[in-house]
């Protein structure tokens, strides 16, 4: 296990982790110390995730009942694209509106989102696939997420048929945009 040393900061004592080289090579995503969560590097590189996490991201995780560690970069990319597209239009993104475009899926043990069949496509060039994305991860203090996340035990996903509100103003205002990475 890692050696811990307490350091005084404004909020109180925070453990500082010291890893030796041998231990570092054995670390897995499940080894986050108490008070920390694991995040994959490709959430940021490919999924456009940023910290601190938005309330919309927290709402998605809460509604679907899974931990951010259970999401794929493809799913992250769709959530972030929707969030940015909505904010660009001057609207606040909601889970209800997100569900008009996307449905929850499970792919290779991780949760993601796919297009709802009859809904218009708002991501004109979706990401293809990410290779070796599970190999690069790090631990970060759990306070970066505005909710307490739980690991979803059940991988059963109920198929939903939601009405597409094609006449609603918010629906008509969203136009398909390409999947692009922007600099900071």
Q: Is 167 exposed, middle or buried (0-12, 13-18, 19+ CB in 10 A)?
A: exposed
Domain ranges of the chain: 3-173
Closest Cα to residue 54, out of 76, 32, 74?
76
| Side-chain-side CA neighbours of residue 8 (13 Å) | 0
pTM for the structure as a whole:
0.72
**CA–CA dist 148, 35 (Å, integer):** 11
The four Cα atoms 102, 103, 108, 110 give a dihedral, to 10 degrees, of 80
User: Is the CA virtual torsion 134, 138, 139, 144 positive or negative?
Assistant: negative
Digitized pLDDT (tens) for each residue of the chain, 184 residues in all:
444 455 454 555 656 666 677 776 778 888 888 888 899 888 888 778 888 888 999 999 999 999 999 998 889 888 988 898 888 888 889 999 899 888 999 877 899 998 887 777 777 777 677 778 888 888 888 888 878 888 887 666 766 666 666 667 766 776 666 665 545 4
């Amino acid at each position: 296990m890692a050696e811990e040393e307490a350091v005084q900061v404004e909020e109180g004592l925070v453990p500082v982790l010291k890893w030796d080289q041998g231990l570092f090579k054995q670390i897995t995503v499940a080894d986050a110390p108490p008070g920390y969560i694991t995040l994959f590097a490709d959430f940021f590189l490919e999924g456009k995730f940023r910290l601190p996490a938005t309330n919309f991201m927290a709402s998605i995780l809460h509604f679907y009942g899974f931990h951010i560690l259970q999401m794929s970069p493809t799913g992250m990319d769709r959530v972030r694209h929707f969030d940015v597209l909505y904010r660009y239009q001057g609207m606040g993104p909601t889970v209800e509106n997100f569900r008009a475009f996307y449905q929850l899926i499970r792919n290779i043990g991780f949760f993601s989102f796919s297009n709802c069949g009859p809904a218009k496509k708002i991501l004109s060039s979706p990401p293809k696939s990410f290779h070796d994305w599970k190999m690069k991860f790090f631990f970060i203090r759990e306070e970066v997420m505005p909710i307490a996340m739980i690991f979803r035990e059940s991988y059963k996903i109920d198929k939903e048929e939601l009405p597409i509100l094609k006449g609603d103003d918010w629906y008509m205002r969203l136009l398909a945009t390409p999947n692009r990475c922007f600099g900071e």
